[in-house]
A and B are shown apart, each in its own frame.
Chain A
Amino acid sequence: MRGFLLRLARRLVGALVMIWAVATFTFFLIRMIPGDPVAAQLNMLEQQGMSESQAAARVAGMYGFYPKDPLPIQYLHYMQQMAHLDLGQSISYTGVPVMHIILSALPYTLGLVVTGIILTFIVGVIGGVFAAIYRNTWVGSSITVVGSILHGIPQFMVALLLAYLLATAHPIFPFGAPYDAAISPGITWTFLSNLGLHAVLPIAAFIISGFGFWALAMKASVVTTLGDDFILAAELRGIKPSIRFRYIARNAFLPLFTYLAIAIGYTFGGAIFIEQIFDYPGLGLLQLNSIGVHDYPLMQAAFLMITVAVIVSNIVAEMLYTVIDPRIRTAR
């Protein structure tokens, strides 16, 4: 337990450093945008009739620093604001705190991505187990072939084809919003089922494009485990097939956890396409749209939030792994 907490603490410190680095990166990136959006914003506000100090205060509200301060002071103010979890004010949604906008978009992305990762993982692992067990029959080889093909098709193409086939050419599933405008949100069956129906295609896109990766990885892992000596030993000890299956499954399953970090990053990164194609109002779409309207505080915050989500998910996955693998749990 102490080792676990120690490891968690170390990871959390690492995560903070990484988040700091990303925040610093976006701070300097915004200064490098051609045409200096901060100065332009200040100019515009002054032309709209604000006094210089009023305008500067408004810009400071947006970006977290006074545009006329020297750079180090600007950076300091910006970091102070970040430390208070204040991400500034949106430009396109005039005066609305960026945090509000982000928090309203976050559930959609999290919902899509977390459901997507978990379902993809489950479907892929089951497919991989079958592919391994029936590897010498047509069942196994067709899973392997389908898996390799799906693995080769980029995610956004899968989403594009799904949207085209099942929403445009054959309008089976709704698309274009997280739920029908006529339905008021709440914990009602009508709302939840509608929400689920709208999420079918985006999540299906995750599953179809991620299936191959997990199925192939699981297949390889099961085949390796089947050749392990302790599986033969279990057979020679007359261990029941059901228990032996659990031995194989668990030992083959564990190494996959090390890939989970890659999958999490990949899925969060891919969400930007899924959200764009299905017009789903998550962080990715928010980030894309904010660039179109030059709302840089929003863009920066959306990017930061996506990164934080990836980092936190990675830590959760890693801690889960240390809990279920006794070799790591007791080592060190």
Chain B
Amino acid sequence: MNTIVSEEPQALSTYPSAQTPRHRPSSWAVAWDVLRRRPTGLLGLAILLFFIGMAAFGPLFYPAELPSNPSNIFAGPSPAHPLGTDFQGTDTLALVITGSRYVLLSAFLAGLFTAVFGTVTGLISGYYLGVPDSIITKLADFVLTIPSFPLLVVLSTVWKFGSPLAMGLVLGLIGWGALARAVRSQVLTLRERTFIEAARGLGFSSVHIIVKEIFPNITSYVAMKFLLAVTGAIYASVALFFLGVLPLSTNNWGVMLQFAFSQAGAMYTTQSLPYLLAPLACILLVTFGVVLFLDAVDEMLNPRLRRG
């Protein structure tokens, strides 16, 4: 008993325990149920699907080289150009659509790499302890301490981030620290639980215990961190292009912002406003979608939140 008020009406303390077993019948049913009761989560999912569709199929509708028109620069919105044109007279909507693929794909890959690196190191560190643990912990501290954007700027002198894979890999390499720490502490508490001790006592191999017993218990946590890492990576990749240290040869939202900021002089004129705002709005909308969806995912994975 840990409360100073020693008794509480018993009927009030019927919350399901925090350690409800994870294996529940049909998680699809649960997911659908939560999404139906939470239209905001459905909205978030819809936004995400919309942008995924844009990134996957949007570029197919445009030529590799978007047409420009020097006599029609910074045009306002019109039927031909719903979002106006840029400093070269290129259609802003076309730029937004074709520019989504690099940003979203690299962010997805960055989230994936972050989740993989963070989970693997965290599992090893928390399960084996000892030397691997202290090495990984020190490395994670190191990665967490170095401010990431100055580091990325320095890295940009040797690494050109040309493909989404290159961008995602680097962002994953510098972003795994926090997740590794969190996974490690989760593993440390799981280690003490009886089913892990039982598995060890039965002589299962360490790999089996980590993969089959511990990992399933943290997948939901990792999944949420993955989504958060994706939003973080969207900012990071856009921000790097915005800083102007990466080659601006390809088209993406970050390049658009950089041009709007420097070339077009958006900061000194108002005519390029749609050009500046279009990529910003997209980034915010994607974030908004992830946040809404994450909220619903949180409820799906966390049984304690499920009942109001």
Contact = CB atoms under 8 A, between A and B. Distances in A.
| Chains A and B touch each other in the complex, with CB atoms below 8 Å apart | yes
B113 interface: no
Contacts of B80: none
B145 A163 contact: no
A32 B155 CA distance: 10
A93 to B, nearest CB: 19
Interface residues of A, number: 50
How many chain B residues sit at the interface, stated as a range, is 35 or more
Best-surrounded residue of A232, A269, A273, A288 (most CB of chain B within 10 A): A269
A183 B270 CA distance: 30
A29 B153 contact: no
Given A273-B149, A291-B153, A314-B145, A152 B242 contact: no
Contacts of B270: 168-169
A265 B158 contact: no
B203 interface: no
Interface string B222-266: 000000000100010011001111000000000001000100001
A132 interface: no
30 contacts: A18-B145, A26-B154, A33-B157, A152-B284, A152-B287, A153-B284, A154-B238, A154-B239, A156-B239, A160-B261, A160-B280, A164-B266, A164-B267, A167-B267, A168-B266, A229-B2, A233-B4, A265-B147, A269-B149, A270-B149, A272-B153, A273-B239, A276-B243, A276-B244, A284-B150, A287-B150, A287-B153, A291-B157, A306-B147, A310-B145
Given A152-B291, A229-B4, A233-B4, A311 B243 contact: no
A269 B267 CA distance: 23
B140 to A, nearest CB: 13
Interface in B262-298: 266-270, 276, 280, 283-284, 287-288, 291
Contacts of A277: 261
A265 B150 contact: no
Contacts of B288: 152
A130 to B, nearest CB: 23
Chain B, interface SS category:
helix
A152 B146 CA distance: 22
B3 interface: yes
Interface of A: 18, 21-22, 26, 29-30, 32-34, 148, 152-154, 156-157, 160-161, 163-164, 167-169, 229, 232-233, 261-262, 265-266, 268-270, 272-273, 276-277, 284, 287-288, 291, 296, 299-300, 302-303, 306-307, 310-311, 314
A300 B235 CA distance: 24
B267 A22 contact: no
B148 interface: yes
Nearest to B287: A152
Given A168-B267, A273-B243, A288-B243, A232 B145 contact: no
Nearest to B245: A291
Given A269-B149, A272-B150, A291-B157, 19 more contacts: A30-B157, A154-B235, A154-B283, A156-B235, A156-B239, A160-B257, A161-B280, A163-B267, A168-B270, A169-B270, A265-B144, A265-B146, A268-B150, A273-B243, A299-B154, A300-B154, A303-B150, A307-B146, A307-B147
